[in-house]
Structure 1
Amino acid sequence: MTSTFERVVKSVVRELDPKGDLIPVDSLRSSTSFRPYCLLGRKLSSSWFWKPRYKCLNLSIKDILEPDAPEPAVERVASFHIEDLVDGMVQGNVEVKALGQGKFVSGAAVLATASTSMDVCMLKVPLHTWGAMNKERRLRQPEHKILQQLRSCGSDVFVVTEVLQTQEEVEVTRAQKQEGCGQFALPGVLRVQGKGQGHLNRKKTVTIPSGSVLAFQTALLVIGPDWEIHHLQHKDERTFRLPKTGHKPTSSTGLLSQIPLSYFKMRFPSTPVDMVSDGDIEDQMPVTEDFQGLKVEVSVHADGLKGLSGELCGQILAGLMKVLREEPALESLQEELEQGLCCGWVASPDAPGGAILECLVQSSGKVEEELARPILYLVQALTELNETQRALLAEALETGDLSGQSRLVQSVLEQSSPWKEHRAVSLPQELLGSSWDSKAPAWVLLEECGLELRVDVPQVHWQPDAQGRTSALYACLVLLPHLSQDSA
């Protein structure tokens, strides 16, 4: 079963915020980080198909302003009581008869239950508070070291302006019970008969403390001679003023606005595209927001991996295997790669994933951009997945069983494209293997994306908010085999 906390949060946010303005918190561990007035960086993204992620900077707005004083109080603008009960069963029976040869009968049932009851409230920093703070407080001098680092990379800074949080401790339980039985009879001189049955019970309980943030909203912090908060951000607005160049400002969509335009010099499978020219990057990228666009994007980076030697692929794959099961190490590797492509050099070659960084830099420390681009894209896709999915990918890499899973995920994305509506997606039987149940790796990989699957009829219920993680899963399943010694 996928993260109980994550499912609860998405369910509550869908109910209270159908327009999608709020940003769901993706783990219970980080639910205490996104408080009003907290400053956030935004995890960069080199993909159109999964959203940039926010990272807590362990700073509040008061840490960068003077005079030093507590933040003003926030307003409680709304309170809600949420109660959600799911109790359902799916069952099916199959009987196969072969004339004169015997009979096989089987049955299966899946019972799923989930219950949630919680009181939540919306806390918001009033607009007039920002105006008053702007008049009364100035930026500290010298500038905070973290702001200096972010300025050097051209990274944007955001401030939390609104949160949805629990008002009391909540216990959420999800349970799943599977039962199956079968019997067979074979006629002949020696009559053979048999029967069997089995069951599998799975249960998850999570306690969400009072005051945990489930979702939040941000505004852009703009720093010039002074500071101000922009609630409605235009695409060319940035936290720090960029030095004047011969190019028009690029959009602030994640990594696209952080890395020099030379980063985007790439050739699509059939059409050469030179990204170093005037104009917004989105206007020049021939990428559509559907599966065909995702396929083109992944193919570009797959082509970059095809040129690597077998020895280099082996070293990179070995390095990935070391960090794949450790999220902090994987995130640290991502930050080093982003920093390297942004600034042209790697600052901490001894950081987690150092074996990978050594493969991507020259002796002087200068980054080999052509090598680093597809690796960064793959690392970002892996970071988008959760711990369970990354562990399954590590196991599949050891057994070499990735191709069937990539074709299955591709089928789901193709049939559900353009991903904006709920729909039932049938799964080709030839891609499911000998078993299709909640223990199958492909089942778990898809379920952990936030999709609902069925046992009796091989089917996935597509959820639009699963698009980002499912797209990242597809990218990982396509790119990882290119690093194996056999395919290099």
Structure 2
Amino acid sequence: MFHKATKSLAKQLDPEGDLIPVRCLLDQNHFGPLCLVQKKCKDPLWRKSRYHKTDYKLRDVLLTGEPASQPDIYDSDSFTIVDHVDGKLEGDVTAAIDLATVEIKSSSSTSHARSVKVKKRHISRQVLDSLHGKSKINLDHPLIKQSEKFQRDLYIITETVETVEAAEFRDSSKTEGSVLAELRLKMKFTGLRDSKKAVIVPKACALAFRVKRLLIREGSLGVSIFPDDRTQTFRSCKPGYQSDAVRIDMRSKTKHQLMEIQQECAPLLSLSTDLCGKFLNGFLAIIRNNDLLQELELQLEQALDGINPIKLKTSRPELQELVDNLQDSTGSICTDVAGSVLYFLQALDELSESELLLLEESVERKIVPKQTALVQCILEEVNSNKEWKLTIETQKVSPFIEDELDITEAMIKSCGVTVQRSGAGLLVTGNPDAFLALSALYVALYVLKILSG
């Protein structure tokens, strides 16, 4: 819930910028000015930048007595952000299937309220310039030695958005439904799901941050000025290294994108039917509960980390079978399958709450294969259509009935893409910014298709 709130606030503050939301409330004190964070060498092409805490600040890795170890941090004036959403959706469907008549009625409502007073804390440009080539790094520090060994880039946090006073973030959702079926015998089923969550954010809590890459050359410290600098923390760019700028260009190459997705998810194709069912049940539990997603994603990142691997464990019964089958009887992680699961969870983490709810409904209605084919078709077609306005002929994808298309359209719309019927085809419109969001959705659909097929 905290991460969902910080993502929303970061987007509200800087829709087109590089403001990075803090993911975990417990770790927020590791994302203040002058804290060092790490970026792993491999991230999915469709994923936004992810930075991990290191538990160290700049002063910890400088040689003793360096004057740059305590640079000044400046505060901006405070301002208040208000983010309030309140919505309700109702509908009913009646269908005749052979001897049965099925009537489905449902209503759902969702709301969140956030009002928080914040300020910006930052290091001045002059201070960053003064660090370049004049400050000395302790090359024997454990963080420096391990980061160089595993070729992990290091970054310094230069700016944060922090709370001025304690604030409460509240979320609530309610779904009601009833199914009335007549098939010689009259039956009625009703259901209600009601969820209310709140988190109290303390004063001086980091909500979002910006970073600059550190450059370490012969024991001297430097700070990269430009975000698309192709140098790395410990060495210059070598042949084959891909900077962020190059990666952005590659994202337009759909063939490369789809190949990556298929390769990363390939280990799931070898699962038995029984294991597919267990994984699918675990994934649906994760889709329903964002806390489970955060718990397992963090554990998998640590378990697959070559530096400090851990054993997976959970106290959640809905995750137990999934966790048990990601490691062997000795507790050793099953690297290939666990890597595919982490890849899937990373995609889920990019999706909105409404997309996750629609994913669950799509699995229940067994329309995921149709949706997967449609999204893949859009990604392939848009590669040669920069204006993101295209028509997909119906013979390229399986036909949708009206309510299936409504669900699919709502899901894709969350990515910034609209789908409408147009004669014998589907009219798709959007913009290039939607490519990454649609790619993450495709990963989620592709994995659910494998497991449910």
- Normalising by structure 1, report the TM-score: 0.61
Are 2:239 and 1:248 equivalent residues in the alignment? yes
SS in 2 for 1:161: strand
Residue ranges of structure 1 left out of the alignment (5+ in a row):
255-279, 340-346, 361-371, 394-399, 453-461, 482-486
Tell me the alpha carbon deviations over residues 390-425 of structure 1, each in whole angstroms, 9 at most, x when there is no partner: xxx9xxxxxx999964654554565588699999xx
CA distance in 2, matches of 1:203, 1:326: 22
Are 2:115 and 1:117 equivalent residues in the alignment? yes
Are 2:125 and 1:162 equivalent residues in the alignment? no
Are 2:301 and 1:331 equivalent residues in the alignment? yes
2:206 equivalent among 213, 219, 225: 213
Q: Give 1:88-167 correspondences, 5 Å limit.
A: 88-94=87-93, 107-134=105-132, 137-140=135-138, 142-167=139-164
CA contact (8 A) 2:228 2:244 kept: no
2:194 equivalent among 201, 221, 237: 201
With over 3 angstroms needed to count, the CA separation of the structure-2 counterparts of 1:408 and 1:432, relative to structure 1, is farther
User: Equivalent residue for 1:83?
Assistant: 82
Structure with higher Rg: it is 1
CA distance in 2, matches of 1:104, 1:480: 28
Tell me the alpha carbon deviations over residues 52-101 of structure 1, each in whole angstroms, 9 at most, x when there is no partner: 42111111110111344652231123532111222222222446699xx9
Q: How many correspondences in the alignment?
A: 381
CA contact (8 A) 2:31 2:209 kept: yes
With over 3 angstroms needed to count, the CA separation of the structure-2 counterparts of 1:11 and 1:222, relative to structure 1, is same
Q: Which amino acid aligns with 1:178?
A: T
CA distance in 2, matches of 1:403, 1:45: 33
- Normalising by structure 2, report the TM-score: 0.65
SS in 2 for 1:163: strand
Tell me the alpha carbon deviations over residues 102-133 of structure 1, each in whole angstroms, 9 at most, x when there is no partner: 98765432222221111111111101122344
2:260 equivalent among 297, 304, 311: 297
CA contact (8 A) 2:3 2:23 kept: yes
Q: Give 1:373-452 correspondences, 5 Å limit.
A: 376=339, 379-383=342-346, 385=348, 405=368, 408=371, 411=374
Are 2:35 and 1:20 equivalent residues in the alignment? no
SS in 2 for 1:139: coil
CA distance in 2, matches of 1:402, 1:193: 22
Q: Which amino acid aligns with 2:44?
A: S
CA contact (8 A) 2:20 2:209 kept: yes
Tell me the alpha carbon deviations over residues 265-302 of structure 1, each in whole angstroms, 9 at most, x when there is no partner: xxxxxxxxxxxxxxx8999x7x7455x55333223445
CA contact (8 A) 1:85 1:116 kept: yes
Deviation at 1:30, TM superposition (A): 2.9
Are 2:187 and 1:223 equivalent residues in the alignment? no
Are 2:36 and 1:39 equivalent residues in the alignment? yes
Q: Which amino acid aligns with 2:235?
A: R
Residue ranges of structure 2 left out of the alignment (5+ in a row):
284-291, 313-325, 357-362, 390-397, 417-429
Are 2:47 and 1:50 equivalent residues in the alignment? yes
Identity %: 22
CA contact (8 A) 1:159 1:219 kept: yes
